[in-house]
Every structure is written in C-alpha cells, then in structure tokens.
Amino acid sequence: MTPDTLVADLKALILDAAEKDNPPGGLADDEVLFGPEARLGLDSLDALQVSMAIQERYGVRMPDSKDTRRALTSIAHLADFLRPHLAK
C-alpha cells in the first residue's frame, strides 16, 4: 500500500467508524482529529470505534496508551504509526 493510498484509506475509515460526514474541503492529512479545535468533534467513543476499525481492517491492535493517543492526533500521525506494522 502506498503512503497516499494509506492516508486516503484512513480518512475514509475514520469518517465511517465515527459516522461523520466529510467536512467542507475534506480532511487535511495533519488536521487535528480530537479536541476543541477539531472540525469533526470526535470524542473518546469515536476513538474506540476508530481503533476497533483499524484492528479489523489492518490487524493492528491499538492499546489504550499514550502512543495510541498520540497516533490518533491526526491522519498523518496515524499513518506513521501504522506503517511499520503494515510492512511486516
């Protein structure tokens, strides 16, 4: 999977798992996903749904940890987190 394909796939996966519509102009790779400045308004339940969708699609378990929270800050961070696991 190419880096661009992974990023596009992650954007679709996050929107689907969180049951959100694509925001105007689409999601930027480095857009903040959680917190008050996030356009999607994702919460902890959304984080759980996204992590379960990632495990189902990519076979990568995302434990509740600081690393996982850091990985879920943006699409780019999530792609960087997943790449080493997908290369195996």
> What CATH number corresponds to the domain at position 81?
1.10.1200.10
Averaged pLDDT of the chain: 92
State which residues form the domain around 7: 3-86
Is residue 13 pLDDT above 90, yes or no? yes
Mean pLDDT of 61-67: 82
Mean pLDDT of 55-64: 90
Nearest in space to 23 (alpha carbons), one of 5, 46, 41: 41
Mean pLDDT of 47-74: 90
What is each CA distance from 62 to 23, 24, 29, 34, in whole angstroms?
A: 25, 29, 20, 16
* Whole-structure pTM value: 0.90
Task: Give the count of domains, the chain.
Answer: 1
User: 42 has which bridge partners?
Assistant: 34
